[in-house]
Amino acid sequence: MYLGFGYYYTYLTLCIIVMSLLKPEKQNDAITLSDRYLRDIRQQMLTLFETDKTVIDFGCGGGEFLKLLEPHVRYAIGIDRSFPKNSYAYDKDLRCGKNITFIKKVITRDISIDFNFEIATSTLFLHTVPRPTTLQLMALMREKARKAILCELTHPANLYSNMLLSIDQFFTGHKANFEEFKAKGCMEGLLYECGIKEYRIIPTKDKSLNFYCIDFEY
Ligand SMILES: C[S@@+](CC[C@H](N)C(=O)[O-])C[C@H]1O[C@@H](n2cnc3c(N)ncnc32)[C@H](O)[C@@H]1O
């Protein structure tokens, strides 16, 4: 049933509310549930990546997208401030990674990276960090990568969608950063502020999420 607003918020908000009423250790289940919801979107995102490229994923979370990408990538790095227990990224820490490395780092404190990449990516990350960091990240991607493939929130379509989003952002702890991201025109506003005028927007099955493909060499 299509309810006229992004499924993602409804799904994630309900998961988070239910899980927050349960024991704290159940919070990881909310992550698993949202991962399950994002599965189709990640599969669609995978089709945007050419094979045998080097990739960096900012705010990679449990590494679910890099896990999908692993057979197709030459080399990839995932960066996040924490890796949930039992996630792919967390387990990967314990064994010898082949072509994927996960680095635990707080990007707002240290944004530097030493290598160049063919593709920079992030999923639902840019709206979670303060605006200055988002701008720095875009500049870093432009400097270090040839392309960026980003999955981000779009402007909520109506009041109800807006309310669900606010609840979701409140529970996930980045409401203030998201409000600024939204007030400044979501991805379109960010790309405009960065002087990036040429990019492709690819819709997903969820009206609240789009892919933004930027060719920095254009
Ligand atoms: C909404 S989640 C998205 C995770 C992942 N990209 C995915 O698709 O499942 C945002 C991620 O950003 C990470 N994050 C937020 N602020 C961060 C920071 N300052 N430095 C590094 N990671 C951060 C969180 O730990 C979380 O994993």
Q: Which residues pair with 102 in a beta bridge?
A: 78
Q: Is 80 in the pocket of ligand 1 (CB under 6 A)?
A: yes
Q: What is the pTM of this model?
A: 0.86
Element (H, E) at 126: none
| CB-CB contact of 181 with 130 (8 Å) | no
Among 31, 43, 125, residue to substitute to test ligand 1 (most atoms within 8 Å of Cβ) = 125
In CATH, which of 1.25.40.340, 3.40.1410.10, 3.40.50.150, 3.40.30.10 is domain 7-215? 3.40.50.150
Instruction: Please tell me the predicted confidence (pLDDT) of residue 11.
Output: 66
60 φ, ψ to 5°?
-75, -5
Q: Comparing C-alpha atoms, which of 218, 192, 203 is closest to residue 48?
A: 203
Q: Is the CB of 78 under 6 A from ligand 1?
A: no
> Which tokens belong to 1?
């049933």
Distance, CA of 40 to CA of 204 (rounded, Å): 9
Q: How far apart are CA 102 and CA 171, in angstroms?
A: 26
pLDDT for 2 equals 42
Q: What is the pLDDT of residue 93?
A: 57
Distance 23 CA to ligand 1 centre (A): 22
- Ligand 1 proximity of 200 Cβ (cutoff 6 Å): no
Structure-block tokens of residue 117: 């990449």
Sequence-ordered list of residues with C-beta below 8 angstroms from that of 82, at least 6 positions apart, any chain: 104
The pLDDT, as a whole number, for residue 25 is 47
Task: Pick the closest to residue 99 from 65, 66, 68, 76 (CA basis).
Answer: 76
**Average pLDDT per block of 10 residues along the chain, 218 residues long:** 54 64 51 70 96 97 93 94 88 68 93 94 95 97 97 82 74 87 96 96 90 91
- Whole-number Å distance, alpha carbon 61 to ligand 1 midpoint, is 5
CA of 132 to the centre of ligand 1 (A): 16
Residues 40 and 62 sit within 8 Å (Cβ to Cβ) = no
pLDDT the model gives residue 7 = 66
For residues 214 and 49, give the distance between their C-alpha atoms in angstroms, rounded to a whole number: 12
